[in-house]
Amino acid sequence: MCFSAPASFIAGSVIGATGYASIKRSPSKRALLLASTPMLFAIMQFIEGLAWLNFNYYNNPAVYAILTYGYIVFPYLIWPIFNPLSIYFNETEKIRKSMLAILVASGVIMSLFLTSALFIFGGAASEIINRSIAYSTGIPFLTSPQWKAVVFIYCIIFVVPYFISQSRLIKVYGLALLGSFIFSYTIYFAGFISVWCFFATFLSFLIFFHFYSLKNQPI
């Protein structure tokens, strides 16, 4: 979503520093996965920065493929598992963990399903549209009722874990993610993946504020 290589690298650096600070503020090992969330978004921004350089200066097909799939692997494979798993490890109450375990299992299934569909429908591509990088696949997420249902389930797996959390700030983060998901899907569908990940990148500052607010007290 960033409009240039410098913008992507700056965003990645800022969010990466935020992720590092979150990890340093993490009060226990079980919270490290959640604390590392901004770091993963930073990696995505650095990948986009490299993609911009390749588009603008090198246009190397091999680099293009590596960076395109390097970015796509996050929303298709990593996030559906990582999100519920990070909250699962961060929680202690049995009831919450039981609900999160269901979402973790659902995330694994969703990741395998989307990754398989990605290659069945012809893989992924990226291009510059309106001064931003748009990622596309042959999957009819917008036109098919069945695939719209998949998007709805994906949103549940991605966002609901944050509402199960005991932390008020984490719940706020989940609400903000939900709002950005709906906005990106309905307004900027052509660049949905990049746009939503861009919003989520900066919303991950809330992860840092969550750990900062703990003041080294047990979660």
The tens place of each residue's pLDDT in the chain, 219 residues long, gives 567 889 889 989 999 999 999 999 988 899 999 999 999 999 999 999 999 999 999 999 999 999 999 999 999 999 999 999 999 999 999 999 999 999 999 999 999 999 999 999 989 999 988 777 888 888 887 678 898 899 899 999 999 999 999 999 999 999 999 998 888 777 776 667 777 777 888 888 899 999 988 865 544
Let me know if residue 219 belongs to a domain.
no
Contacts of range 189-192, beta carbons closer than 8 Å, 24 or more positions apart: 189/141, 189/142, 190/129, 190/134, 190/136, 191/1, 191/129, 191/130, 191/132, 191/133, 191/134, 191/135, 192/141
At 191 the pLDDT is: 67
pLDDT of residue 131: 75
Instruction: Please give the tally of structural domains in the chain.
Output: 1
Inside any domain, residue 136: yes
Q: Is residue 40 part of a domain?
A: yes
Per the CB < 8 A criterion, the answer to whether 157 and 105 are in contact is no
d(CA 205, CA 23): 12
pLDDT at position 135: 87
pTM of the model: 0.88
| 152: containing domain | 5-214
* CA torsion angle 74 76 78 82 (round to 10): 120
- 102 located within any domain: yes
Nearest to 138 by CA among 118, 157, 153: 118
Residue recorded with tokens 């996030």: 79
Residue 187 is predicted with a pLDDT of: 77
Q: Reduced to 3 states, what is the DSSP secondary structure of residue 81?
A: helix
